[in-house]
């Protein structure tokens, strides 16, 4: 924080003070006023679709179909849901009075929090910037946004949309690296919404605690997939391949490692390779496939390759994939098995197109393994055996 330019600090302080003043006015905002602000945003957002496509392609080769599904449609769905329900959400809720308040009537009246901060990630920048922003505006708050510096083209489009759609006291944005985020989180916001890694989430939470600021932390983790022998293999393969390799595995809820019953492992792997080949291409064939993303930057590219190298050094054997190309930050869709339990790939969130495959015969051992590790963000079960599904849950 000490390295941050004094002028940038002053600009942030001025914006924060401006929004604090405006937030007091917003406490009286009604449904029509809040929806009018969202309508204004939607028009600018829709008008920016071509810029959104181009910026996503420029930053990490994201195909238009994925941008439509995970960025544009996701934001529009948030807007639709908020418009449909906001009037109901804003109404006071009558509640039964306690004995201590006998003879009185009670109700819950919802009020805006005030000035809110959205610190958004690079993997789904439009979705995970504008989604929280929409909810905050709907609740009658002002918003300051800090987008990721790792996707500069997408962040530039986000900034342009914000400038066109809002006045600075409604929503404003500050670009920069960690020093900007650090200074922002030191301010006494009324709420902070952060999406990112657990490691950075700890810093955000510690900074927020100094001001007793409430936080929403949407973090990552190692999300397991458990494939029971009762599974429909072809359906499971399509679902898992999409969840793992879309966005090049750079998704917080992507399958991180796969436990599969030993009796169906060979058939499953065979079908998975057919699916990968059809969707993206096996090995280097995926390099020129326009539907297959790049790794976001050189640092993440090197980190993922280190995970793969370490796994192979610790007994891991490639089932398919493993190819890489520095020039395009390309790493092929990869399945690997046999790595040691203490290998980095089994202990760090992968956030890339590597999928460790582990066989099992005893479901209790799988459950014990998952339970003895940090709680994952997601867990996926594929199978038809209701008893086993309930047991896992």
**Residues 6 or more apart whose Cβ sits within 8 Å of residue 369:** 259
pLDDT in tens, 282-314: 999 999 999 999 999 999 999 999 999 999 999
Determine, yes or no, domain membership for 265: yes
Q: Exposed/middle/buried for 28, CB within 10 Å: 0-12, 13-18, 19+?
A: exposed
State the distance between the two ends of the chain, measured CA to CA, in whole angstroms. Answer: 44
Percent of the chain with pLDDT over 70: 99
Determine, yes or no, domain membership for 198: yes
Position 188 pLDDT exceeds 60 = yes
Domain that holds residue 244: 223-392
pLDDT in tens, 217-254: 999 899 999 999 999 999 999 999 999 999 999 999 99
User: Do both 170 and 270 map to the same domain?
Assistant: no
Determine, yes or no, domain membership for 291: yes
Determine, yes or no, domain membership for 1: no
Determine, yes or no, domain membership for 101: yes
Determine, yes or no, domain membership for 45: yes
For residue 31, the domain's CATH number is: 3.40.605.10
| Mean pLDDT confidence for 312-333 | 97
- How confident is the model at residue 347, as a pLDDT? 96
User: Do both 160 and 200 map to the same domain?
Assistant: yes
- Using CA atoms, how far residue 281 sits from 50, 61, 286, in Å, is 27, 16, 4
Position 2 pLDDT exceeds 80 = no
Determine, yes or no, domain membership for 127: yes
Position 197 pLDDT exceeds 70 = yes
- How confident is the model at residue 275, as a pLDDT? 97
DSSP state, 107?
Answer: E
For residue 332, the domain's CATH number is: 3.40.309.10
Active site residues: 218
Q: Tell me how many degrees the CA angle 168-170-176 measures, rounded to the nearest 5.
A: 55
* Backbone φ, ψ for residue 93 (5° rounding): -110, 110
Determine, yes or no, domain membership for 149: yes
| Mean pLDDT confidence for 258-273 | 97
| Mean pLDDT confidence for 313-334 | 97
User: Do both 196 and 333 map to the same domain?
Assistant: no
Helices and strands, number each (H, E), in the chain: 14, 15
Mean pLDDT of the chain: 96
- How confident is the model at residue 3, as a pLDDT? 72
| Mean pLDDT confidence for 210-223 | 96
User: Do both 197 and 231 map to the same domain?
Assistant: no
Q: Exposed/middle/buried for 326, CB within 10 Å: 0-12, 13-18, 19+?
A: exposed
pLDDT in tens, 75-115: 999 999 999 999 999 999 999 988 888 889 999 999 999 99
- C-alpha span between 13 and 268 (Å, rounded): 56
* Banded model confidence at residue 4, pLDDT cuts 50, 70, 90: confident
User: Do both 117 and 181 map to the same domain?
Assistant: yes
- How confident is the model at residue 121, as a pLDDT? 97
| Mean pLDDT confidence for 329-335 | 98
Give the domain-ending residue among 165, 188, 218. 218
Number of domains in the chain: 2
- How confident is the model at residue 97, as a pLDDT? 86
- How confident is the model at residue 101, as a pLDDT? 86
- How confident is the model at residue 381, as a pLDDT? 98
Locus of tokens 């401006």: 18
Closest by alpha carbon to 52, among 173, 149, 154?
154
User: Do both 114 and 210 map to the same domain?
Assistant: yes
User: Do both 213 and 329 map to the same domain?
Assistant: no
Percent of the chain with pLDDT over 90: 96
- How confident is the model at residue 1, as a pLDDT? 46
What CA dihedral angle connects 247, 351, 151 and 127, to 10 degrees? 60
């Amino acid at each position: 924080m000490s390295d941050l330019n004094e002028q940038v600090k002053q600009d942030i302080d001025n914006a924060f003070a401006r929004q604090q003043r405006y937030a007091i006015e917003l406490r009286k905002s009604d449904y029509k006023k809040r929806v009018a602000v969202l309508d204004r945003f939607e028009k600018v957002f829709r008008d920016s679709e071509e810029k959104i496509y181009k910026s996503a392609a420029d930053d990490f080769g994201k195909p238009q179909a994925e941008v439509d599904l995970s960025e544009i449609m996701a934001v529009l769905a948030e807007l639709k849901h908020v418009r449909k329900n906001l009037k109901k959400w804003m109404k006071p809720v009558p509640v039964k009075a306690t004995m201590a308040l006998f003879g009185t009537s009670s109700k819950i009246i919802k009020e805006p929090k005030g000035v809110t901060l959205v610190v958004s990630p690079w993997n789904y920048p439009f979705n995970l910037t504008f989604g929280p922003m929409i909810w905050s505006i709907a609740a009658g708050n002002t918003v300051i946004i800090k987008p990721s510096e790792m996707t500069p083209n997408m962040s530039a489009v986000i900034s342009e949309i914000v400038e066109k759609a809002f006045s600075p006291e409604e929503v404003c944005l500050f670009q920069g690296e960690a020093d900007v985020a650090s200074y922002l989180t030191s301010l006494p916001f009324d709420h902070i919404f952060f999406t990112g890694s657990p490691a950075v989430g700890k810093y955000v939470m510690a900074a927020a605690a100094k001001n007793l600021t409430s936080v929403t932390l949407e973090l990552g983790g190692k999300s397991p997939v458990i494939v029971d022998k009762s599974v429909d293999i072809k359906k499971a393969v399509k679902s898992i391949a999409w969840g793992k390799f879309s966005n090049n595995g750079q998704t917080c809820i992507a399958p991180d490692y796969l436990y599969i019953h030993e009796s169906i492992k060979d058939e499953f792997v065979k079908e998975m390779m057919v699916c990968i080949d059809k969707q993206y291409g096996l090995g280097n064939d995926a390099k020129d496939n326009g539907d297959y993303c790049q790794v976001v930057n050189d640092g993440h590219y090197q980190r993922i390759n280190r995970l793969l190298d370490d796994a192979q050094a610790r007994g891991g054997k490639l089932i398919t994939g493993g190819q890489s190309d520095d020039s395009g930050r390309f790493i092929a869709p990869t399945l690997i098995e046999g790595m040691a339990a203490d290998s980095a790939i089994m202990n760090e969130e992968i956030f890339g197109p590597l999928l460790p495959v582990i066989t099992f015969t005893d479901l209790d051992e799988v459950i014990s393994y998952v339970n003895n590790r940090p709680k994952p963000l997601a867990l996926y079960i594929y199978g038809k055996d209701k008893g086993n599904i309930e047991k896992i849950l």
